[in-house]
Amino acid sequence: MKRYIALYKYLVMAALMLCVMTACKKDYQDPSGPSLDQAYSSPQALTDVAVGLQAWYVKDRIGLIYTTTTSGSLLTGETFVTNPGNADEGQLATGGNTLLNNNVVVTGMWSVTNKIAYEADKVLNKTNSVVADKGFASGLIAYTSIFKALALGVQANYWEQVPDTTSQPDNQTGAVHFIPAQQGYARAVRTIDNALNTIAATPIGANFAPNIPKGINIVNTLYALKARYALCAGDYATALDAANKVDLTAAGISTFNFNPQVPNPIFILVASTSNIYQVVDSTMGLPVGIQPDLADARIPFYISRPPNGKPTKFAIGGFFTTNIQSIPVFLPGEITLIKAECYARMNNLAQGLTELNKVVTKTPAQDPFGVGASLPPVAVGNIPDLLTQIYRNRRIEMFMSGQEVEDERRFGRPVAERKRNFFPYPFVERNDNTNTPPDPIF
The 10s digit of each residue's pLDDT in 266-301 is 999 999 999 999 999 999 999 999 999 999 999 999
Residue 3 has pLDDT above 80, yes or no: no
**Range 23-39 average pLDDT:** 53
**In this model, does residue 204 exceed pLDDT 70?**
yes
Task: Categorize the per-residue pLDDT at 34 as very low, low, confident or very high, splitting at 50, 70 and 90.
Answer: low
Domain count, the chain: 1
The angle at the Cα of 169, spanning 167 to 173, to the nearest 5 degrees, equals 170
| Residue 179: pLDDT over 70 | yes
Pairing label, strands 161-164, 303-304: unpaired
Q: Are 279 and 77 in contact (CB under 8 A)?
A: no
Domain annotation covers residue 33: no
In a domain, 440, yes or no: no
Residue 19 has pLDDT above 60, yes or no: no
Residue 24 has pLDDT above 80, yes or no: no
DSSP code per residue over 15-43:
HHHHTT-SSTTS----TTS--HHHHTSSH
Alpha-helical (H) ranges within 303-345 are: 332-345
CA distances from 16 to 10, 13, 22, 326, 428 (A): 10, 5, 7, 27, 9
Question: What pLDDT band is residue 173 in, cutting at 50, 70 and 90?
Answer: confident
Largest CA distance in the chain: 63
Mean pLDDT across the stretch 387-404?
98
Residue 436 lies in a domain: no
- Whether 36 is covered by a domain: the verdict is no
- On whether the CB atoms of residues 145 and 120 are closer than 8 A, the answer is yes
Measured between alpha carbons, how far is 357 from 389 in angstroms, rounded to an integer?
10
- Examine the pLDDT at 7 and tell me if it is beyond 50: no
**Residues of the chain by 3-state class (helix, strand, coil), percent to 5:** 55, 5, 40
| Residue 138: predicted pLDDT | 98
Span 126-171, pLDDT tens digits: 999 999 999 999 999 999 999 999 999 999 999 999 999 888 888 7
The pTM of the full predicted model, rounded to 2 decimals, is 0.93
3-class SS at 327?
strand
Going by pLDDT thresholds of 50, 70 and 90, the confidence category of residue 110 is very high
Note whether residue 11 is domain-resident: no
pLDDT at 10: 36
Q: In this structure, is residue 16 part of a structural domain?
A: no
Q: Domain range holding 75?
A: 42-423
Does residue 288 form part of some domain? yes
- The residue length of the chain stands at 442
Q: Each residue of 294-303: pLDDT tens digit?
A: 999 999 999 9
Cα 423 to Cα 92: distance, rounded to the nearest angstrom: 10
Handedness of CA 185, 190, 196, 199 (dihedral sign): negative
Q: Is 46 helix (H, G, I), strand (E, B) or coil?
A: helix
Q: What's the pLDDT at 6?
A: 35
Beta-carbon contacts of 257 under 8 Å, excluding residues fewer than 6 positions away, are: 213, 214, 215, 326
- Lowest mean per-residue pLDDT among 168-172, 246-250, 263-267: 168-172
Q: CATH number, domain at 399?
A: 1.25.40.390
Q: Which residues of 141-158 are buried (b: 16+ CB within 10 A; e: fewer)?
A: bbbbbbbbbbbbbbbbbb
C-alpha torsion 67→69→74→77, nearest 10: 170
pLDDT at 166: 82
297, β-bridge pairs: none
Residue 174, pLDDT above cutoff 90: no
pLDDT, tens digit (0-9, with 9 covering 90-100), for 221-241: 999 999 999 999 999 999 999
177-180/161-164 β-pairing: antiparallel
Tell me what the pLDDT averaged over the chain comes to: 92
Q: Is residue 358 part of a domain?
A: yes
pLDDT band at 210 (very low <50, low <70, confident <90, very high): very high
